[in-house]
Amino acid sequence: MWMAVDVEEQLRKLWLLLIMQIGMSKPRAASIDGKLSAEFAVPSHVDAVKELMSAFAERHGAAGRRVVLITSGGTKVPLESRTVRFLDNFSSGRRGASSAEYFLDCGYAVIFLHRHRSLYPYARLYAGVNLLDGLRLGGSGGCTDQEVVVDQEALPKIGRVLRRYQEVKRDGLLLPVEFSTLSEYLHLLKASAQVLGTLGSKAMFYLAAAVSDFYIPASDMPEHKIQSSNGPLQISMKMVPKILSPLVKDWAPQAFVISFKLETDTSILLDKARKALDTYRHQAVVANVLDTRRGYVVVVTPDTQAELILTDEDASKEVEIEEKIVSNLTGAHA
Ligand code: PMT
């Protein structure tokens, strides 16, 4: 009798140990995946977009081309189900849009996962111009509306930019995908990672989007517009799962992954970048400070640290910091 109880107890302990080990083999990734489906609404078009990305990756992979997924712009976190108000992360999308152009110049095919209406490759060069101020009616005396003439002063280098844009379009080298909300971003990034995972080390992730760390789960969200007549607003937000973790471990383990680290306090920037590398075990972090991000970044890898600086001479030749970032990273990827 005593022996029987003891064996039973030992078996129970063994069973518990086994369950713990199975659970410990991939705890974060499994729970993040579960959380994604349970707490972030899946966009209705995600399967259709995944198919497009699959065909894109297959075509360029077969042609021996490297493929980079660029994320760009800020995510939007709704405060109400029928959304009137939302929290936004700061990002104009300029980093992502200009980097896309330099990756294309380096021979990459680009999936451009960007915030709706944030800056777009090539078009970004004229983002500050009112298009109508750059055009005038042509013909004799400007009296016909059948002919429109471009004012090259208002739209500088438009011919060269248009030519490059049309080449990229003709060769199908740029696949734009839009997101607005955090949920859309997370699900579309997951889909793209699963697709690009099939390309192995030919794939690169360049995660320049500014992604919210906080969200309100659908179950806690009021349906209707929050009423100011109820007094001051107190919101409790949950932590967004770090998508880098399953991306690196499960979805695209062979890919070259670059995350970005944005801080406003320079003194903590590099420590945070190194901590990210330690935690996620990816290839590089591009560290930047909000106020100086256009002229100074540090590319941190597990063994190196490269400062990239835009000099006055660079600026006078219209060199952009993104050209230096992309040159550094494509060199490392190769
Ligand atoms: O668009 P611009 O105006 O040109 O500005 C460019 C930029 C400053 C936005 C860009 O250079 C930049 O730094 N982007 C990252 C900003 C950011 O949100 O950092 P973070 O500390 O929140 O996230 C760090 C990394 O973790 C990011 O690469 C992000 O993709 C990733 N992340 C974030 C949240 C989350 N839930 N999962 C993630 O994997």
Domains and CATH numbers, the chain: 28-127+156-333 (3.40.50.10300)
CB 207 within 8 A of CB 111: no
Identify any residues that bridge with 286 across adjacent strands, giving them in sequence order.
260, 299
- 99 vs 20, residue with greater confidence: 99
- 17 vs 174, residue with greater confidence: 174
**pLDDT (0 to 100) of residue 25:** 42
Of the pLDDT bands very low, low, confident and very high (cuts 50, 70, 90), residue 218 is: confident
Residue nearest to atom 14 of ligand 1 (CA): 208
3-state SS string for 72-96: ECECEEECCCCCCCEEECCCCCHHH
Interface predicted TM-score (ipTM) of this complex, two decimals: 0.95
Burial of residue 5 (CB within 10 Å: 0-12, 13-18, 19+) is: exposed
For the four alpha carbons of 291, 293, 298 and 301, in that order, the dihedral sign comes to positive
Percent of the chain at pLDDT > 90 equals 83
In this predicted structure, the answer to whether residue 90 has a pLDDT above a threshold of 80 is: yes
CB 223 within 8 A of CB 81: yes
In this predicted structure, the answer to whether residue 138 has a pLDDT above a threshold of 90 is: no
Q: Radius of gyration of the chain from Cα atoms?
A: 24
Phi–psi pair at 256, nearest 5 degrees: -95, 115
**pLDDT (0 to 100) of residue 15:** 54
Least confident span in 5-19, 118-132, 198-212: 5-19
Which residue's entry shows tokens 């003709």? Answer: 170
Average the pLDDT over 116-129 and give the result: 96
The strands making up 256-263's β-sheet, listed across from edge to edge, are 174-179, 109-115, 67-72, 203-207, 256-263, 284-289, 296-300, 305-309
Of the pLDDT bands very low, low, confident and very high (cuts 50, 70, 90), residue 125 is: very high
Provide residues with CB under 6 Å of ligand 1.
91-95, 207-211, 213, 240, 242-244, 259-262, 288, 293
**In the 8-state DSSP scheme, what is residue 250?**
I
Tokens of 241: 């799962």
Helix ranges restricted to H, the chain:
2-25, 27-39, 46-62, 94-105, 158-170, 182-196, 244-246, 266-280, 312-316, 321-333
Mutate to test the pocket of ligand 1, among 101, 247, 260 (most ligand atoms within 8 A of CB): 260
Average the pLDDT over 248-270 and give the result: 97
Angle 179-184-190 (CA atoms, 0-180°, nearest 5)?
110
What proportions of the chain, in percent to the nearest 5, are helix, strand and coil?
A: 50, 20, 30
Closest atom of ligand 1 to 258 CA is 28
**pLDDT (0 to 100) of residue 7:** 57
Mutate to test the pocket of ligand 1, among 261, 288, 320, 323 (most ligand atoms within 8 A of CB): 261
| pLDDT tens column, 221-249 | 999 999 999 999 999 999 999 999 999 99
CB 87 within 8 A of CB 77: yes
**pLDDT (0 to 100) of residue 24:** 42
**pLDDT (0 to 100) of residue 19:** 43
